[in-house]
Structure 1
Amino acid sequence: MNEMTKLTAADFASDQEVRWCPGCGDYAILKAVQRTMPEIGADPAKTVFVSGIGCSSRFPYYMATYGFHTIHGRAPAVATGVKLANPELDVWLVTGDGDGLSIGGNHMLHLLRRNLDCQVLLFNNEIYGLTKGQYSPTSRVGTKSPSTPFGSVDRPTSPCAFALGSGGRFVARGIDTHKNLPEVLKRAHANKGASFVEIYQNCIVYNDAVFESFTEKKAAPANQIWVENGKPMLFDNGAKGLTLDRERLKLEVVEVVDGNWEAAGVIVHDETNKGVAQMLIDMPYPAFPIALGVIYCDPAPTFESAVVTQNLEAAKGKTADLNALLAKGQTWKVTPGGHPEL
């Protein structure tokens, strides 16, 4: 790409017809990603989107970049192969709560603990949409679906808790239609390593309005807290905040009078503090607000950089010789009679 070329969101939109259910939150996420691409200086020729199976996994078709639509749950494995084959590529992984946390949970864990340099966007609608509304690993207790007609008795998994527990070094949350989503995506891209972003995404057909109590415009201020590194943890238009009970090591909601958050004991967000990050992720809603934004970011060396360095060290002073490699060790030839001769 010519450095003088100024790309727009339209340059990252493919010529394929976008086919999701009308009103699906995936449309908003797609637009947010397409708007983000030129702002981070992405090059379509060096950008790859990898997906598994599910509604979200149609994503690569709609991006004018390279892409792989792989098999159920295996997007992390394919993304790892792509990045190791060409570390210069900018790899984005798109998955859903079913694809990424059920059959793909094992693969997701290893990608995160290895700290592969890529962006993981997990669309969480708390349901299996593509296969017609069965309950998923993130579905709430009591969710009625074709596979749980009397209501789910499973305790749901938390995608962000999973990511943090797997050794993820960047964990964030966003909402499909929220104006802040592009900023979260930019932060994820700026992080060198595995960036995990859970995105609350509405499934208008099988789980409509499941997040409405905290995403609806009037309810949002009192039920969302957008954390920002170095800024006090305030919500409800600054009328409330979070403080830390250091004796019990628990977060608590406090009232803020006349904007004096320091007097109220409101703590400042330190995105490198893993303990507080876990508390933010675990806050029980609706007693506490939903934590959004970059919850944890503490960079570490990436997997592919370590592999490249190791390979370069191993190759020092050696000359590539394919014939010698093939003849090395135990070899044999097949005689005319069909018997191997060692």
Structure 2
Amino acid sequence: MPKRAKKNEEATGDTEKQSETGPEKKRGKAAKEPEAPILYEDPPDKLVSVEGKAANLKITSWNVDGLRAWVKKNGLEWVRKEDPDVFCIQETKCAEKALPAEIKDMPEYPHKYWACSEDKEGYSGVAMLCKVKPLNVSYGIGKEEHDKEGRVITAEFPSYFLVTAYVPNASRGLVRLGYRQTWDVDFRAYLKDLDQRKPLILCGDLNVSHQEIDLKNPKGNKKNAGFTPEEREGFSALLAEGFVDSFRHLYPEQQYAYTFWTYMMNSRSKNVGWRLDYFVLSRTLLSALCDSKIRGTAMGSDHCPVTLLLAL
């Protein structure tokens, strides 16, 4: 989502007032101590599928909120430790000609693919870094009104498609909600077509918290971008086509598991967040699913990375 639209109180719902630290003057009582935040702890990785097969594919996705700044914050060091087979990036905000040398020269990922905004410098952008060369790579979803913003890369591998996406935000005041609804319909049709050919993995910043459990303040955000009924219904419609939210499939009742925190109001330290980053799978891949992770301690962006483990 466009950051200037997303990183504000209205768009993120970070409307909790800071707790007073001084005495309550009216009643002469000591102020109530603020409650300690409940943080999500990523459990140990599950490395075996329900069929007993060992994980052999690791994919990581991260909205880096500006690739050049993220590199300076040592984001690549974390990626090297995580060591995914494919690393998908959203919101690069960087034209291919301006890519940092550090990421262009990564020998671990000899096959690198970039999609950038055609009209706006420093806006949107996605990338995919692969250890193994895909059979085919395409950009966009075949509709100019969407593709000019550099939001989708699709890689075809022998047994699956991998799509990384940076879904457009409805923006402050919901001025792009109508466009977002059009996107949802067109993107869903694109994914359905791929799924008819071979199983699909979709990852990225999908710019929606699907259920109330997926954000800290659901009641105050029903009219804000990322949690409107229209956006949530769009995600529900995608799942109804035979796709699965891998994290919720494995952890249906897990609370406080977020992937985005606004920079304001110390939201990350208080865990006032949203789950906006996903791995969505074709239902036929569930037998291969080992784990879907939220790496909440990884720093360098206002989002944290998410990682998928499959046994294919």
TM over 0.5: no
Considering only CA atoms, is the larger Rg found in Structure 1 or Structure 2?
1
Q: Which has the higher contact order (CA 8 A, sep 6+)?
A: 2
* TM norm structure 1: 0.29
* TM norm structure 2: 0.31
